[in-house]
């Protein structure tokens, strides 16, 4: 009889333990829910919350939604499809959760509002710190200030956050795919503390690397780019410094690669994705280009418009021509230029969409093709009235002029060059794709027309010297330059 009472007692004790454990799990679930709502507010939505306390502590939530703060009509600030977590008892007593995994995490950052932080107090400080949050496949969107624009979106296919929940910056590591140009970006840094009243004001900083980006996705550009840098600021305004290295950069119109490196300082407006560059310093060959400007998207245009003010001081003409002309070493010399540069988002070869408007000077220019340089030397001798002098193939030409590039056609105005005895002034065009020259103008000679030759030709020309005589010049002749960059043709005639 007594043994039966022992059995009954054991059954009762077992039931009490089972009920107690179930109650403990329920109480723990209530505490977890309270912790979430204390942090994210009473409007937090959760479903399917389960907590298990033994042998270690585990929890799972099927859905978590944190609405925007007082912003009706916008998607949730935070949405999580599923969350699971685990920790040990000793860690829990120290107010630490070892690991939380988030599936389907999406964060929507609304544009900042004037005065939104005034009078705002963050929710109570959390009682637990999450040592590690794994949220692979997370999506971060920063919504624009201007309606109608697409939000900036970052797809983080790897994301790990450490020390989450503390009222201090959290450490993070992430990897994301860059679509255009294709490649992988790796980044690590600090994020937070989270600004609940104005999420766009949440601080962020870190370093990044971007490797093996294929530039051939941009029509007319070739090369493989790598970049490293650092950034700091808040989500809607990030300042960054970095450097790029493209050992095989080329434009398809020339196909001649150069080793291009660049350093830049930029500000990225997270509310519209616009980037402000000040400056970009690019190096290739023996030339340096300094550019300032922006990369801005419109309401309706697909893609973004690049607008830059570019300057080269004492660069090398052969470096610039190597990018634009398939012929090697057409001319050499010291070049300086200033140009407005615009690259629209049109899906065409960069040579067709690049727009330039500027001016240039070239000092000590030499034509690399010997036959052309000989003609320049001969022109100098004749213009000086010394046609019998031996040709000096080292005579240099000083070029200057204004240029505009649109739809692959370069037009020149006020293009001029000087050699001893002659000043040439030309207007006309050059095609980037077909490399055809069509320039017409005048050659102003120091000598009279009859002095440009000898013998009976000189005697005959004396009769028409007055026709070509101009003020402060011996003779002014109409000339033209035609042909191609590889085979230019010089002749008389302005038509």
| pLDDT tens series, the chain, 495 aa | 445 545 444 444 444 444 444 444 444 445 555 555 555 556 778 888 787 877 888 888 888 888 887 666 778 888 999 989 898 878 877 878 889 899 999 988 888 776 554 444 555 566 678 889 999 999 988 887 777 677 778 889 999 999 887 577 889 999 998 878 888 899 999 988 888 778 888 899 999 999 989 998 888 899 999 999 999 999 888 999 999 999 999 998 888 999 999 999 999 887 777 899 999 999 999 999 999 999 887 655 567 899 999 999 999 989 988 888 887 767 888 999 999 999 998 888 888 999 999 999 999 888 776 667 777 777 777 767 776 766 566 676 788 999 999 999 999 999 988 888 888 899 999 998 888 999 999 888 877 767 667 777 666 766 776 766 776 777 788 888 888 877 888 887 765
193, 212 contact by CB (below 8 A) = no
- Residue 354 and residue 410: Cα distance in Å, rounded? 11
Say whether 103 sits in a helix, a strand or coil.
strand
452, 462 contact by CB (below 8 A) = no
- Residue 495 and residue 485: Cα distance in Å, rounded? 20
Tokens of 363: 């000092």
Q: What is the pTM of this model?
A: 0.80
Residue ranges of E strands in 224-354: 224-234, 237-251, 258-269, 275-284, 287-297, 304-316, 331-343
For the stretch 418-452, what's the b/e string if a residue is b when 16 or more beta carbons lie within 10 angstroms of its beta carbon? bbbbbbbbbbbebbbeebebbbbbbbbbbbbbbbb
User: 85 forms bridges with which residues in the sheet?
Assistant: 59, 100
């Amino acid at each position: 009889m007594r043994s039966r009472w022992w059995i009954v007692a054991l059954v009762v004790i077992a039931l009490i333990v089972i009920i107690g454990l179930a109650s403990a799990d329920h109480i723990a679930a209530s505490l977890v829910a309270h912790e979430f709502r204390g942090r994210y507010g009473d409007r937090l939505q959760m479903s399917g919350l389960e907590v298990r306390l033994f042998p270690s502590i585990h929890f799972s939530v099927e859905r978590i939604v944190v609405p925007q703060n007082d912003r009706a009509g916008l998607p949730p600030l935070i949405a999580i499809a599923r969350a699971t977590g685990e920790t040990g008892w000793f860690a829990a007593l120290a107010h630490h959760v070892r690991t939380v995994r988030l599936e389907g995490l999406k964060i929507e950052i609304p544009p900042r509002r004037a005065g939104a932080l005034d009078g705002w107090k963050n929710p109570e400080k959390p009682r637990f710190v999450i040592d590690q949050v794994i949220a692979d496949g997370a999506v971060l969107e920063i919504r624009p200030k201007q309606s109608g624009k697409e939000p900036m979106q970052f797809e983080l296919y790897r994301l790990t956050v450490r020390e989450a929940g503390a009222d201090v910056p959290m450490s993070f590591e992430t990897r994301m795919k860059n679509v255009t140009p294709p490649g992988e970006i790796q980044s690590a840094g600090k994020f937070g503390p989270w600004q609940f009243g104005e999420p766009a004001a949440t601080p962020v900083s870190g370093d990044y690397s971007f490797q093996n980006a294929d530039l051939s996705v941009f029509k007319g550009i070739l090369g493989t780019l790598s970049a490293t840098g650092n950034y700091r600021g808040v989500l809607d305004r990030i300042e960054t410094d970095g450097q790029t290295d493209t050992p095989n950069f080329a434009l398809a119109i020339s196909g001649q690669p150069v080793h291009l490196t660049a350093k830049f300082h930029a500000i990225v407006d997270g509310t519209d994705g616009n980037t402000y560059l000040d400056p970009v310093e690019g190096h290739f060959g023996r030339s340096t280009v300094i550019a300032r400007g922006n990369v801005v998207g419109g309401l309706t245009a697909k893609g973004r418009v690049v607008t830059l003010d570019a300057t080269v001081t004492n660069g090398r003409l052969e470096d610039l021509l190597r990018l634009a002309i398939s012929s090697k070493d057409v001319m050499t010399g010291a070049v300086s230029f200033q140009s407005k540069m615009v690259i629209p988002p049109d899906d065409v070869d960069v040579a067709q969409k690049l727009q330039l408007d500027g001016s240039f000077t070239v000092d000590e220019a030499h034509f690399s093709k010997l036959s052309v340089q000989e003609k320049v030397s001969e022109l100098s001798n004749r213009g000086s009235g010394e046609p019998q002098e031996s040709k000096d193939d080292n005579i240099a030409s000083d070029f200057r002029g204004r240029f505009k590039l649109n739809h692959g056609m370069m037009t020149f105005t006020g293009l001029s060059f000087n050699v001893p005895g002659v000043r040439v002034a030309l207007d006309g065009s050059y095609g980037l794709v077909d490399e055809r020259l069509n320039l017409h103008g005048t050659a102003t000679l120091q000598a009279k027309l009859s002095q440009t030759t000898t013998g009976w030709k000189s005697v005959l020309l004396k009769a028409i010297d007055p026709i070509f005589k101009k003020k402060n010049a011996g003779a002014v002749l109409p000339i033209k330059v035609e042909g191609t960059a590889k085979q230019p043709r010089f002749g008389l005639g302005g038509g």
